[in-house]
Amino acid sequence: MQQQPNSDHCFICGRLNPHGLHMTFFDNGVDEVYADYAVPAAYEGYPGLAHGGIVAAMLDEIVGRVAMIGDHHNFMMTVRLELKYRHPVPTETPLHLVGRVERMRGRLGKAIGELYLPDSTLAVEAALTLADIPADFLAGADPEAFGWRVDG
């Protein structure tokens, strides 16, 4: 398992974002990204349950990160996100998330994600279509400037 980089200010992974989730991600070097996380109560919707938008953001992030397996500077963006909420997601409870490559061809990709409860129940499924971020946007981007690095 290899740890993936975090940025400084991203809502999901940003280590310096005071309102962020501060998630950490790992990949298997081939086709999957993993994260273990407990959603803080501050992000509940219904009492004791994670807000669906927070859950969607977590899955968007982990599934989008499959593009970075093997190249942590291969940034893609979500074109389409489909979710199936099967079970409520509790706050303050250890969860396991997985993102998995289905196919990457040229500038487009498809990947899926799953969020599991502590008893291994599949709570939420995600399907993403990804596209390369336009080259003109990335031309001026400096990953070091936004704190893109693996914490040791």
Buried b / exposed e over 36-69, threshold 16 CB at 10 Å, is: ebebeeebbeeeebbbeebbebbbbbbbbbbbbb
Domain parsing of the chain, residue ranges: 2-139
Res. 22: pLDDT tops 90: yes
Instruction: Give domain 2-139's CATH number out of 3.60.20.40, 3.10.129.10, 3.30.420.40, 3.40.50.720.
Output: 3.10.129.10
Where residue 144 falls among pLDDT bands split at 50, 70, 90? confident
pLDDT of residue 152: 66
84 contacts: CB under 8 Å, gap ≥ 6: 124, 125, 126
Q: For residue 84, what are the CA distances in angstroms to 23, 40, 92, 123, 127?
A: 22, 22, 22, 9, 9
Of the chain, the percentage scoring pLDDT greater than 90 comes to 82
Residues counted in the chain: 152
121 contacts: CB under 8 Å, gap ≥ 6: 86, 87
List % helix, strand, coil for the chain (3-state, nearest 5): 15, 40, 45
Averaged pLDDT, 60-80: 93
Q: For residue 53, what are the CA distances in angstroms to 57, 58, 75, 137?
A: 6, 9, 22, 26
Q: Over the stretch 49-67, which tens digit does the pLDDT of each residue have? A: 999 999 999 999 999 999 9
Report d(CA 72, CA 34) in Å as an integer.
15
